[in-house]
Structure 1
Amino acid sequence: MPSHISRLLFTCLLIFSGMQPVTAQLSLTANTASAKVKASLVSELKTIVPSEAFRVAVKLEHQPHWHTYGKVLPEDVIGKPTTLKWTLPEGWTVEELPWPDTHEVPSTDGKTSQGYDGTVYLPAKVTPNGKSGNIAEISVKVDALVCDPQNCMPAKPEAKLTVTVGDKAEADPAMADVFAKVAPAATSVVSTPETQAVVAKAPQRSFAGYLLFAFIGGLILNVMPCVFPVLGIKIMGVVQQAGEDKRQVLMHGLAYTLGVLICFWALGGLVVSLGKAWGFQLQSPGFVYGLCAFFLIFGLNMAGLFEIGASAVGVGADLQAKQGVSGSFFSGLLATVVATPCSAPFLGPALGYAVTLPAALAMLMFTMIGLGLASPFLLLSLMPKLVSSLPRPGAWMESFKQGMSFLLFGTVAFLAWVLTGMVEGQPMLFTLFGLVIISLGCWIYGRWSLPHKPTRTRFIAVLLTFLCIGGGLAFGWPQVERGVVSEGNHVEGGLTWEAWSPEKVAELRAANKAVYIDYTAKWCFTCQVNKRVYKDAALQKLIADKKVVLLKADWTNEDPRITQALSELGKAAVPVNVLYSPGKEEPMILPELLSVDNVSAAIQEL
């Protein structure tokens, strides 16, 4: 890692390549619940024929004394309906077939319930598309609550099935007895809100609508505190460009836009191919520390502590130079990197939808977000009259530049605060001292690496500068000490919050309680803005009167359980706030930006 560090400071791409990757985990790991009920997928045919429907069945095998529930719960039964989420080849469809009748099973507190135990087959009808001679894969994810006479816990087993597509159907004799008891493929079931299985559905909004949301969300990112410091740097460049050749100004705008798009394409490619969630890199303490050091160095530069020369820095470092087209490109890269903690209004739905799309359409969504982010600066470069109307360069620019440095220092403070949620105890002290050593290197460079100094003095200053920066990064590199996570309650905003877990949610919902979940992260600025709502006295009283249990799901560090929960809600970024009402299966998802009114209105419906 240390060999990458010096270049990591000056280019976003090397920051990316030098960080430690976050492990891609979008499915729940094997746990106690998944061992209580296992799922497999079987088919009545070994070889299927295009456009001819055939039957499949999800085989659930329960451990002794454990049970799950049916598709629909009787009114007097407290539990969770079992649902299926299918993943099929493009063009294929799936329809539900009648499930077996539930029967009486022993439940918690010495009571009985209606559900499935032992081995049960849940059938469906699949209509394939495609050409013969292909191999196709079907997968299904079961979402169930598995219970025994003592307790309940959520289970999400998955199953896959590979079938051959041929010119002639071939039955599987081993499955004949199973499907003899299943309704024929010609049977269809009318879906109602009470009986429908979870099947892939068309989005309520059109694809063009989500593209518009993506563009508007990217546009709003420009005024988010995560991005605005980078724009401050670019404002300096725009002021210097006033009165320049129009073609040169346009080149700056195009370079900035290209930098934004390339970084969005890289992030989008990781999100799509690895199943990552938006903002995943901010869950890496090393990456956050790299950004912290980067903004500190450039803040000190803008404050006048030192001047970065092109020969000392390399590609894209001289962001204020008149000829800095490469600097504009670099600024576009940097703006995208620091934009990822922000899920602005309109952007959340677009990101959640993007991760469910085929790769090409998903990348188009990320392209629209990038164009939204780059559009103000691009518009400025396309309309030179706007540039020429800006104030002419002068002595005032030095004061303006130094003033803009405090935006960068504010970003350093925010990122350091984010690190406190990842690094605890003495390692965090070393991390802060590492930033001090980096600042010392910048001071040495500004004090002794001046044009009028002797060559030997300048050489030693540069050497000491890189030693301090490299040593500071190595000394302060975050050392995460994983300990026992406290499951206790904590008070925030005048409200008492409990730690979120899938088991806790299942337990509370099984007890017929209202549950409010705040999916949040320290690095998410919008999440911090939302917290102001909880301080309202009237809202606090309403929550107490309605006996709402508050759960906080902290996604500051990577947690595959939270990633999975967000994915099931159709979300790919925080903030996400949901309210589960007793007796209702689906939660109410609140807007990304909370207000006292919209939170109160949601709770009033309980």
Structure 2
Amino acid sequence: MLHPTLRFLLSLLLLTAVSSPLSAQLDLASGTTGAASAKVTASLVSELKVAEPGKPFRIAVKLDHQPHWHTYGKVLPADVIGKPTSLKWTLPEGWTVEEMPWPDTHEVPSTDGKTSEGYDGIVYLPAKITPVANAEGTAEIIVKVDALVCDPQNCMPAKPEARISLTLAEKAETDPSVTEIFSQIPSIESSSLIKPANAPAKPAVTSFLSGLFIAFIGGLILNIMPCVFPVLGIKIMSVVQQAGEDKRQVLLHGLAYTLGILICFWALGGLVISLGKAWGFQLQSPGFVYGLCAFFLIFGLNMAGLFEIGASAVGVGANLQSKHGLSGSFFSGLLATVVATPCSAPFLGSALGYTLTLPPAQAMLMYTMIGIGLASPFLVLSLFPKLVSALPRPGAWMESFKQAMSFLLFGTVAFLAWVLTGMIEGQPMLFTLFSLVIIALGCWIYGRWSLPHKPARTRTIAVVLTLVSIGGGLAFGWPQVEKGPVNAGAHVEGGLTWEAWSPEKVAELRAANKAVYIDYTAKWCFTCQVNKRVYKDTSLQKLITDKKVVLLKADWTNEDPRITKALSELGKAAVPVNVLYTPNQSEPLILPELLSVDNVSAAFQGL
């Protein structure tokens, strides 16, 4: 039997998943490869214009990379994180293909300010083709490239395709236009041939293990991100309460908390993989945000001492050996994951991007490692009881500490209510705020009259009134979204004028040869709000004015398929994303996730 609060959160998660339009999510799934293919294109060149049946000849896959982008070689060095490039050939029946040695890779700029080993510019990947002995007429050769294309800011999968048609005749005829190209490629006789090109490539074990480590570190860092910080108060109280208790129960609580995190990560990861949803998608649902707002208000009042409902609901109960206490720890794990989704902490963005290049099973393992990283501090305390024993002993001070922690939850309520102002406008938002007052009234009734020393009739009436108040408040304030123009009009923020983003606006400004800076943001994204401090710098404002940069804001607070598609074309699946289009440049400069005056100024000074 699930705890009522657990059922409440799972219902909210399910409601959001069902309510998101599938068509918009499919745009994200399909857009990445197409966008990445523009970063690297493929074509086929043959040393022959006319091939002779049964006689082998050389062919090469020409990869043409956009400036600052690179792909990887056939085999990755041990210290390189990436994905090996592979080729899949489609040939006429009976024809064979064997790969020849590829050119040596060289040092290329990579993400996070590091260097890597790969290919950039133009590179030719040779192979040996042998037609069937009775071939005649014309034949078409097709190759599909499977690669990871990266620049100094991000990576995305690329699968460009190339094809070429050849004529068959009794005598082969070379193509003089490619003589210089094939003079740089070893002859068939002098080169030692590699395994058949269609044979499966050796897995990049080292690269994947490195990715798992990065995922773990990203999940660990989430514990100190502001998105998760309010939940830390709940977890701290739980650990303190467990000091000196039965060590087996301490371990069970740690495992229950970890299981709650993992199940939530598996559910969200499954939706991201199967439906192509964006990370943090549930926070684009006004109903889900409102539900969290009401939820944190109720438990903030509980921690402040207005009423007691049994701390099993938040995993900090006094009776740690009861079933409810374990379900509370499990629920705390679910809650920690839900409030962590709007965060894109250091390392986490790279880990989430890397999952786009992996098969579903490996991608789910990446999500598992992120979850373990998030759960690891609490889990370590549970596995090593001596660390728990080193914490302060339970005492009267804990009540004051618990009440102080409630203000973290009230701060979260304020933040979520502000997020709702970007989703709900006018009178419906007023109703939503009043509904929170009604819910608080229900909590006060419960705390005032549903006390053990009160008569049974009084307690029953109090419970009924409480349920009516909370249920009525939720019904009264449930967000009523009034559909209207998205991103309409310009506005001033931080001393700068931002115009509304749209694909048409971007195309118009770029056609006029203007510098365009786009801030892809959302109210529920805390990192996005931190980044806004940068734009208040007067020297940066002057630089933007001097360079005549047009500022566009793409607000993703509410679901917008156009923004989802634009992000996917940039190889991104989450905000914040900040890009600068410079005149006469086809590709934008993508800035780091965490902005500073220095890195934004450096981008504009390059204009």
The match for 2:10 is 13
Cα drift, residue 517 of structure 1: 1.0
Alignment partner of 1:424 is 2:440: no
Per-residue Cα deviation, 1:267-310 (whole angstroms, up to 9, x for no partner): 00000001100110000000000000000000000000000037
Structure 2: how far apart are the matches of 1:368 and 1:318? 23
The match for 1:519 is 520
The match for 1:546 is 547
CA contact (8 A) 1:516 1:551 kept: yes
**Counterparts in 2 of 1:430-579, with a 5 A limit?**
430-485=431-486, 487-579=488-580
The percent identity for this pair of structures is 76
CA contact (8 A) 1:316 1:330 kept: yes
Cα drift, residue 368 of structure 1: 1.5
Closer, same or farther: CA 485–189 of 1 in aligned 2, 3 Å:
farther
The match for 1:359 is 360
Structure 1: how far apart are the matches of 2:180 and 2:387? 62
Secondary structure at the aligned position of 1:567 is classed as: helix
The match for 1:405 is 406
The match for 1:67 is none
Structure 2: how far apart are the matches of 1:272 and 1:126? 29
**Counterparts in 2 of 1:194-593, with a 5 A limit?**
206-309=207-310, 316-317=313-314, 319-321=316-318, 322-323=320-321, 324-485=325-486, 487-593=488-594
**Counterparts in 2 of 1:114-153, with a 5 A limit?**
126-127=142-143
**Counterparts in 2 of 1:95-174, with a 5 A limit?**
126-127=142-143
Secondary structure at the aligned position of 1:518 is classed as: strand
CA contact (8 A) 1:10 1:317 kept: no
CA contact (8 A) 1:577 1:589 kept: yes
Per-residue Cα deviation, 1:167-191 (whole angstroms, up to 9, x for no partner): xxxxx9xxx9xxxxxx99xx9998x
In angstroms, what is the RMSD of aligned CA positions? 3.6
Cα drift, residue 486 of structure 1: 5.1
Cα drift, residue 223 of structure 1: 1.2
Structure 2: how far apart are the matches of 1:272 and 1:553? 25
Q: Note the residue ranges of structure 1 that are not aligned, 5 or more in a row.
A: 1-5, 30-51, 56-70, 74-89, 96-123, 130-137, 139-159, 162-171, 177-182, 191-201
Q: Name whichever of 517-526 and 594-603 sits farther off.
A: 594-603
CA contact (8 A) 1:10 1:316 kept: no
Structure 1: how far apart are the matches of 2:351 and 2:141? 31
TM-score by length of 2: 0.70
Counterpart amino acid of residue 432 in structure 1: L
Cα drift, residue 356 of structure 1: 3.8
Closer, same or farther: CA 579–27 of 1 in aligned 2, 3 Å:
farther
Secondary structure at the aligned position of 2:492 is classed as: strand
Secondary structure at the aligned position of 1:93 is classed as: strand
Structure 1: how far apart are the matches of 2:426 and 2:582? 40
Cα drift, residue 375 of structure 1: 1.1
CA contact (8 A) 2:238 2:315 kept: no
Closer, same or farther: CA 385–28 of 1 in aligned 2, 3 Å:
closer
Structure 1: how far apart are the matches of 2:268 and 2:285? 15
Q: Name whichever of 283-292 and 573-582 sits farther off.
A: 573-582
Closer, same or farther: CA 505–128 of 1 in aligned 2, 3 Å:
closer
Alignment partner of 1:93 is 2:88: yes
Cα drift, residue 484 of structure 1: 2.6
Structure 2: how far apart are the matches of 1:325 and 1:13? 17
Closer, same or farther: CA 326–290 of 1 in aligned 2, 3 Å:
same
CA contact (8 A) 1:288 1:419 kept: yes
CA contact (8 A) 2:222 2:345 kept: yes
Secondary structure at the aligned position of 1:26 is classed as: helix
Cα drift, residue 578 of structure 1: 1.2
Cα drift, residue 604 of structure 1: 1.7
Structure 1: how far apart are the matches of 2:445 and 2:516? 56
Alignment partner of 1:22 is 2:38: no
Per-residue Cα deviation, 1:203-231 (whole angstroms, up to 9, x for no partner): 9x943443333222211211122211111
Cα drift, residue 383 of structure 1: 2.1
Counterpart amino acid of residue 594 in structure 2: L
CA contact (8 A) 2:261 2:336 kept: yes
Closer, same or farther: CA 189–531 of 1 in aligned 2, 3 Å:
farther
Secondary structure at the aligned position of 1:598 is classed as: helix
Cα drift, residue 17 of structure 1: 2.8
Closer, same or farther: CA 189–599 of 1 in aligned 2, 3 Å:
farther
Cα drift, residue 9 of structure 1: 7.4
CA contact (8 A) 2:314 2:332 kept: no
Structure 1: how far apart are the matches of 2:339 and 2:8? 13
Secondary structure at the aligned position of 1:483 is classed as: coil
Structure 2: how far apart are the matches of 1:188 and 1:259? 63
Structure 1: how far apart are the matches of 2:180 and 2:357? 26
Closer, same or farther: CA 363–456 of 1 in aligned 2, 3 Å:
same
Structure 1: how far apart are the matches of 2:89 and 2:583? 30
Structure 2: how far apart are the matches of 1:352 and 1:271? 12
Per-residue Cα deviation, 1:212-254 (whole angstroms, up to 9, x for no partner): 3322221121112221111111111111111122222121111
Closer, same or farther: CA 471–18 of 1 in aligned 2, 3 Å:
farther
Per-residue Cα deviation, 1:95-138 (whole angstroms, up to 9, x for no partner): 9xxxxxxxxxxxxxxxxxxxxxxxxxxxx953479xxxxxxxx9
Structure 1: how far apart are the matches of 2:272 and 2:487? 30
CA contact (8 A) 1:494 1:535 kept: yes
Per-residue Cα deviation, 1:340-363 (whole angstroms, up to 9, x for no partner): 111112212221232342211211
Cα drift, residue 386 of structure 1: 1.6
TM-score by length of 1: 0.70
Structure 2: how far apart are the matches of 1:396 and 1:188? 84
Cα drift, residue 548 of structure 1: 1.5
Structure 1: how far apart are the matches of 2:482 and 2:367? 35
CA contact (8 A) 2:303 2:405 kept: yes
CA contact (8 A) 2:243 2:389 kept: yes
Cα drift, residue 11 of structure 1: 4.3
Counterpart amino acid of residue 361 in structure 2: A
CA contact (8 A) 1:349 1:571 kept: no
Closer, same or farther: CA 28–413 of 1 in aligned 2, 3 Å:
same
Closer, same or farther: CA 125–427 of 1 in aligned 2, 3 Å:
farther
Structure 2: how far apart are the matches of 1:344 and 1:484? 32
Counterpart amino acid of residue 370 in structure 1: G
Per-residue Cα deviation, 1:571-596 (whole angstroms, up to 9, x for no partner): 11111111122222222211111111
Structure 2: how far apart are the matches of 1:218 and 1:495? 35
